Amino acid sequence: MLFTISAKSTVLFGEHASGQVGEKTKALGCSKVICIYDKGVKDAGIVDSIVKNLENAGLKVVQYGGVLPDPPDTMINECGEFARKEMVDGVIGVGGGSTLDTAKSVNVMLGNPGPIGNYYFVPGGPEHKPGRPLILIPTTAGTASEITYVSVVTNTATGRKSGVKGAATIASLAIVDPLLTIAMPPKLTAATGMDTFSHALEAYTSAGHNIMSDLLAEKAIELVAQNLPKAVKNGSDIEARTNMSFACLIAGMSFNDATPHFGHAFGHTLGSLHHIPHGVGCAIAQPGVIQIVAGTMRDKVRRTGELMGLDLGKDLAPAELGRRVSEGIASFSKTIGLPTLKELNIKEADLPALAEGMTKDVCFRFLPVTLEVRDVLNVLQRVYSS
C-alpha cells in the first residue's frame, strides 16, 4: 500500500495556549497583523484578550469582524482587500470553521492577485504562491480547519461551496486552547462535536484510508462517544472539552490524508440549498455512511459500534450489523439534541435535488463504493425516515 502522511502545521495544544499568541506570532517575524473573527466570538470576549496579547508583544493589530457563516467569496474579497490596504504581514484567525476558512483565503489574497475565485480547486487548476504567516485559533471543537489545508468558500455565482487549497491555506501555527471552547452553547457543542465524529468516521471508511488515518480516526470516534455528551451537558467540564478539542485535532489529521465522502457531500449540499449548519448536516448523514459501507467494511462497522459502546452480539450478518450501528449513531445524535431532517423542515420532496447535488460535490468521489443518484436517494430516504 502506498500512501501519504501529512503533518503540515505546527500545533500548540493545551489550556491557556492562546496566552502565547503574541510571543509566537512575533517569533514568526510579524510586526502588523490582521485579526479576523465574527460577532459571536467578539461578544464572547475572546477577541479582546487575543488582541491585547498581540499588542502586549509589540505587534500592531487591525481587525476585521465581519465574518459570515459559510463564508461567501464577496466577503472574503472585501476582507482580503482590507488586509492588502493595511499592508499586514501576518494573519490571525480566531473562531469557528467559517472564520478560519476566511483567514486562510485572505492569506491567499495577500500573496496572490484577487479575487479568491481565481483559486477554486479543480484538477489541473491554478496554484497559488505562499501568503504571510498564518496563525489559526479555533473556538469550537469540530471543523479542524486549523490543521487542514483546504479553505471552503461559498461561490456566490453558483451558490455552491468550492475549495481553495495550497501553500497559503496551511497554517504556520495552530493554537488549540480548550478553554476557548467553554463559551460554546450546548447546541453548537453538539453540532461541532458531531462534525468531528463525521470527519473521523468518513476518514475511517474513505476510499483513501490508510493505517495512520485509521489509527487517528478510531481514537477520535472513541473520544467523541465518551466526551461529547458530557460537554453538551456541562460546558464547563474542562476534561471533556479538552478531550473533544483533541478528538477534533486528530480527526482533522485523519481526513487530511483520507478525504471524507458521503456525509460531507451531504453537509455541503444541504448547507448550500437550505443553509443548514455544516455539523448538523454531516451528523444527519452518518447513519447513511454506515449503511453504505456495511457490506464491504464489516470489520470497521463493528469496530465503530464497539468504540461507541454498542452491544452488537456475535456473528451478525453485515446488513444487521450495519442496521444496529446506524441506529446507534442516530440515537447518539438524538441524545445530544441534534435535529432530524423532518425537524429542520426539510421535505421528502427536497431529497432528489439533494441527491443530485451530492454527486457533484468533490467529496463524493472518495466514496468506497460506486453509487448512482438513485442509490444516493435511497440512502437519503432511509435516513429521512429514521
How many C-beta atoms lie closer than 10 Å to residue 159's C-beta?
Answer: 11
> What mean pLDDT is predicted for residues 366-376?
95
Q: Is the pLDDT of residue 2 over 80?
A: no
> What mean pLDDT is predicted for residues 362-366?
91
- Gap between the Cα atoms of 116 and 131, Å rounded: 13
- Decide yes or no: CATH 3.40.50.1970 for domain 10-181: yes
- Gap between the Cα atoms of 84 and 78, Å rounded: 10
Q: Is the pLDDT of residue 122 over 80?
A: no
pLDDT of residue 160: 80
Q: Facing residues of 114 across strands?
A: none
Q: Give 14-38 pLDDT, tens digit per residue.
A: 999 999 999 999 999 999 999 999 9
The residues spanned by each domain of the chain are 10-181, 191-385
pLDDT of residue 364: 94
Please provide the average confidence, as pLDDT, over all residues in the chain: 94
Q: Give 38-68 pLDDT, tens digit per residue.
A: 999 999 999 999 999 999 999 999 999 999 9
pLDDT of residue 78: 97
- Name the CATH architecture for the domain at 191-385: Up-down Bundle (1.20)
Q: Give 335-357 pLDDT, tens digit per residue.
A: 999 999 999 999 999 999 999 99
- Binned at pLDDT 50, 70 and 90, residue 3 comes out as low
- CB neighbour class for 115 (10 Å; exposed up to 12, middle 13-18, buried from 19): middle
> What mean pLDDT is predicted for residues 188-211?
96
Q: Is the pLDDT of residue 6 over 70?
A: no
Q: Is the pLDDT of residue 137 over 90?
A: yes
> What mean pLDDT is predicted for residues 362-378?
94
> What mean pLDDT is predicted for residues 229-253?
97
Check for a shared fold between 10-181 and 191-385: no
Among 87-96, 113-122, 193-202, name the one with the lowest average pLDDT.
Answer: 113-122
pLDDT of residue 314: 83
pLDDT of residue 127: 82
Among 164-173, 245-254, 311-320, name the one with the lowest average pLDDT.
Answer: 311-320
